[in-house]
Amino acid sequence: MEKIVNEHELSYSDLFKNVGVGNYLHVSLDAYQATAVMTECTKQNKYAGSNPLNNKYVTTRKLKEGYITIYQRW
């Protein structure tokens, strides 16, 4: 399931709570900073105790133009 966030209505940590296993969350680069989302992704993986080779959360900017996408693996 894919969700899109176009307005800055959630905190950076709340973005990761709204993803869900196997789902994509597309976050607008107009509303959120890409570097801040990637930094929060690193923090959330650390909090989850993820193995560096199998992170719980992954971010990419290649799936949808103008958005950074958050994916939850497990």
List all residues 6 or more positions away from 40 whose beta carbon is below 8 Å from its beta carbon.
Answer: 12, 13, 15, 16
Mean pLDDT of the region 65-74: 95
Domain range list for the chain:
2-72
- Specify the pairing of strand 57-60 against strand 24-28: unpaired
> Which phi and psi angles does 8 have, rounded to 5°?
-80, 80
**CA–CA distance, 23 with 67 (Å, rounded to integer):** 15
Confidence (pTM):
0.91
pLDDT in tens, 30-69: 999 999 999 999 999 999 999 888 999 999 999 999 999 9
pLDDT at 52: 83
